[in-house]
Amino acid sequence: MTAKEAFDHFLAFARRWTKRIDDAPEALHAWLGRERTAWRERGWRGVVTPPRMVGTVLTLLFVFSAAFWWATRPPALPDYAVVRAGWHPSEAWLYDRHGVLIDSSRVDYQARRLAWTRLEDVSPAAREILVAAEDRRFRDHGGIDWMALTGALRDRIEGKRGRGASTLSMQVAAYLAPDLSVPGSRGMREKLRQMRAAWSLEARWSKDQILEAYLNLAGFRGEAQGIGAAALGLFGKTPATLTRDDALLLAALLPSPRANAFEVARRACALSREKDCTRFPGAAASMLGPARSLALDPGLAPHLSAALLTRPGAKITTTLDAGIQRAAITALRRQLQGLGGSRARDGAVVVVDNASGDVLAYVGGIGGESTAPAVDGASAYRQAGSTLKPFLYAMGIEKGYLTAASILDDSPVQLDTASGLYVPQNYDKAFKGPVSARIALAGSLNVPAVRTLLLTGVDAFRDRLWDTGYRGLVEDGQYYGYSLALGSAEVTLMEQVAAYRSLALEGRWSPLRLRMGAGTDAPRRTTTPQAAWIVADMLADPNARAGTFGVDSALRLPFWAAVKTGTSKAMRDNWCIGFTDRFTVGVWVGNLEGDPMRAVSGTSGAAPVWRDVMLALHQGSPGRAPPRPDGIEERQVRFAAGMEQPRREYFLKGTGFDRVAFAPAESRRPRIVNPVAGSVYALDPDIPRDNQRLAISVSGQALGHRLILDRRDLGTADSRPLILAPPGKHRLALVDLDGKVIDQVLFTIR
């Protein structure tokens, strides 16, 4: 019998007795109690006889061995399958609709772990070097390397620097039962417990399973746990692509994960057993330099991953398309870089497939010069601006209150509200007089929108917006007042895109979908197909918006597309939302901290991004006009006095007409057209004051009506007086023969 066989025989015998002792502790204690009682009854003299002395010594040895074995008993260790099933990465992953990884997010902050790395997914060079560095006789021993242990004891006796004798099996046991390696407890008892745990592990686990567990449980640097996190965090690689030098550097980290680059390079050189180690210092410095990302993904949707990835190890497949997401990011980044951080710092883009409601691109921001990069611009509530107007006109057309050719008066108007007079103005502070609803919507004129809201009613319009998915409108219509027509309410980009998609789907609204496999609600009708189609046709008319945006703005595409821009109060938000027959695209540009943009308009802010994304979506497949639904009639309309060019127009069946004429003066309500309500006039000190008189003009049948300026009678309305008012605020009123105020305006002289 060889020495190794004899030792193994002894271990087997010890394990059998250990099991018996472990299974019968109470019997042992009872026997010891009986012996102690007998000794006390007989006294020491009757006990100490040669035969009894031998028995006593053997009994004491047995008791001591049993107590020692009991004291060094290790905790129960789980099976390999349990450890593998209980592994939870600290990360979660986001995939596009085709299974392409687009982003990841850290969820668990206790340690940095990736998915469990299989042994076959680690490069052979890394496996061999790590085993050689940590436990070179790993494949030959049964959990304890007796040769390494003997050498360690000899070194301690001789006072030499101690060498490590822990095997991979002992280290894995310590990872699985942390109380085996409590900091500050490195005595003989703890070592023996680790040794026994290693025996237990070797009896139930295969060598490959132990090595695989070690590679996943070992800490390499900082909070990176496992070879997967170490390979990505230190080298930007997967474990399968680790080279021999990479593995040497990783092995050099294991004895002291906090070692500096010089120490790591020295250890790597020693492990390599090479004479020329000049390459290691630079490689170690690079490895321990700025931390690399622990995810081999392009980071395409950080805001969406932060919202969806909440469970460690989760793998969520979204409706996004990685290619479309990249195109949207590129378009937004190019535009924000062109604007510069002093003009606009933030932006967001959402792209939706009309047919399915799947979100194909979700860009909450791109960082850059943003001062709030963590805020999700696609889901943040911002003031809507003029983007709500299409739903107002659709409601008016649906109810029969107006048609696309109906004339709306774009001239100053004052509306009494609970907080005082409301005086809406256009973006350019100018007024265009009588305009058709088509021109008013396509050109985004404010006063005609407010006049349309007077027809539909504020409360009814607010309810219509709520039904169209604008769930930020939590107050009733009176809370928002007439400014609701101009977008005073706050909305999100996701709500905007879902609402405009309903126009592309003939007035049917349904929620958008971000996760593949998620159910969707059945579409519900928010307006009629005819009203939705007419409004879409108005939004797609480049000639109708030419007066405001020009004939060749960023809104004009080489194919059919309906689009609307919007700018909120004080230039804080800029929107561009539009759709074709296949896609709806929404873009927001602004500053997430709420400060105004500088020199950014509807066509210079969000519109260029919208155009670039639309062109990318329709390469080789241009957008087509939607088919006209039943219930619409077509007429050739002429406008009196060249108010607008003759054109083909569309009406709800039974509401069409061929000619638009001016109403006679006697049929029009008298009103003050100059000065414009809310105007501020500045007196020039270099011009004689008598030459700075203000002309007053009145339209409509005003025979016998008088003008009153600050309670001073100026004479009849048809006299067209020239006034010279002192600095300050003034009220000009038009009163009829009975003294009733027919119209009034407020203006300021300074």
pLDDT tens-digit map of 525-570? 999 999 999 999 999 999 999 988 888 889 999 999 999 999 988 8
* Interstrand relation of 694-695 and 524-525 (parallel, antiparallel or unpaired): unpaired
- The SS3 assignment for 508 reads strand
Q: Tell me the HSE value of 162 on the side-chain side, using a 13 A CA sphere.
A: 8
Kindly report, as residue ranges, where domains of CATH 1.10.3810.10 are found in the chain: 84-90+108-287
Q: How confident is the model at residue 509 (pLDDT cuts 50, 70, 90)?
A: very high
Selection from 90, 589, 515, 95 nearest residue 298 by Cα: 95
Greater confidence (457 vs 189) lies with: 457
| Mean confidence (pLDDT) of the chain | 86
- The SS3 assignment for 1 reads coil
Cα 280 to chain centroid, rounded: 41
**DSSP H helix total and E strand total for the chain:** 24, 30
Q: What is the CA radius of gyration of the chain?
A: 41
487 phi and psi, to 5 degrees? 85, 40
Average pLDDT over residues 474-498: 93
* CATH number for the domain running over 665-749: 2.60.40
Kindly report, as residue ranges, where domains of CATH 2.60.40 are found in the chain: 665-749
Q: How confident is the model at residue 417 (pLDDT cuts 50, 70, 90)?
A: low
pLDDT in tens, 156-173: 776 665 556 788 998 899
Question: 389-399 and 529-539 helices cross at what angle (nearest 10)?
Answer: 130
- 609 vs 621: CA distance, rounded Å: 19
Q: How confident is the model at residue 21 (pLDDT cuts 50, 70, 90)?
A: very low
- 393 vs 444: CA distance, rounded Å: 11
- 350 vs 63: CA distance, rounded Å: 76
Kindly report, as residue ranges, where domains of CATH 3.40.710.10 are found in the chain: 385-565+617-652
Selection from 582, 588, 598, 531 nearest residue 564 by Cα: 588
Average pLDDT over residues 419-439: 74
- pLDDT, residue 386, reads 93
Selection from 399, 129, 410, 393 nearest residue 273 by Cα: 129
The amino acid at 634: E
Using the structure block, give the residue that is written with the tokens 């006063």: 447
Q: What is the pTM of this model?
A: 0.76
Average pLDDT over residues 228-250: 92
The pLDDT of residue 413 is above 80: no
- pLDDT, residue 426, reads 66
Selection from 568, 628, 565 nearest residue 596 by Cα: 568
Tokens of 733: 């009123």
CATH topology for the 84-90+108-287 domain = Penicillin binding protein transpeptidase fold (1.10.3810)
- 471 vs 590: CA distance, rounded Å: 22
Cα 322 to chain centroid, rounded: 15
User: Running DSSP on this structure, what letter comes out for residue 191?
Assistant: H
- pLDDT, residue 63, reads 65
- 739 vs 492: CA distance, rounded Å: 49
Q: Please tell me the class of the 385-565+617-652 domain.
A: alpha beta
Which of 69-78, 390-399, 452-461 shows the lowest mean pLDDT across its residues?
Answer: 69-78
Tokens of 605: 């802010």
Q: What is the DSSP string of 277-339?
A: -THHHHHHHHHTSSPPPSS-S----HHHHHHH--STT-EEEBS--HHHHHHHHHHHHHHHHHH
